[in-house]
Amino acid sequence: MDYSVRGLLEALSGGYSPGDAEVDGGDQPGATARGGRMISLLDPYVDGAHTVVGVTGEIDVASAPALRDRLLGLLNRGTCSLVVDLRGVTFMDSTGVGSLLRIHHRQSLLGGSVHFVADQHAVLRVLDLMQLRKRLHVAPTVADIAVCCPSVGVVEVQQPHAASR
């Protein structure tokens, strides 16, 4: 019996073997394809206090670095609250999880927040296996995140009272 992470992921996904991938949706260098697998990063849009970006396809060893770089680019341009919608993701391996953790870590260093939306069994199973669903704040819909965290990133500064001087 193979107890490695790769073996567990293959068992969970029915024998998946990662291949080459292509990242669609922009002029990012380094995104090529040989095997026909593809991941797409949809155009970001604003929903209340959150910038939402959808991801579709498979996040694996071939596509995760390009996805990570594109999402880190959004964070580096000043996105305070990022919501990554993974409902279109059909497979994610440990490299994909590592990329999500890196995005989460970078945003916390920048003082913002990042949330993930997922309802696909293949994605939720991997996150549950690694006990990351709570840490990454995974919700089933974008609306659920808007309800629980409506004003993330907004800081209120209180002025001292004149009587306390």
pTM above 0.85, yes or no: no
More confident residue, 118 or 1: 118
Q: Which CATH number fits domain 43-151: 3.30.750.24, 3.40.50.300, 3.40.50.10310, 3.40.605.10?
A: 3.30.750.24
Query: Chain-wide mean pLDDT for the chain?
Result: 77
SS3 for 157?
coil
pLDDT tier at 27, thresholds 50, 70, 90: very low
Rounded to 5°, angle at Cα 143 from 85 and 12: 40
Output the pLDDT for position 39: 84
pLDDT tens for each residue of 43-56: 999 988 899 999 99
β-strands 81-92, 113-117 pairing: parallel
Hey, where are the domains in the chain?
Answer: 43-151
Mean pLDDT of the region 68-94: 94
Residue 90, number of CB atoms within 10 A of its CB: 16
pLDDT tier at 37, thresholds 50, 70, 90: low
The answer for residues whose C-beta is within 8 angstroms of residue 29's C-beta and 6 or more apart is none
Mean pLDDT of the region 88-100: 95
Output the pLDDT for position 150: 66
Mean pLDDT of the region 91-109: 95
Output the pLDDT for position 38: 77
Mean pLDDT of the region 79-84: 94
Output the pLDDT for position 10: 46
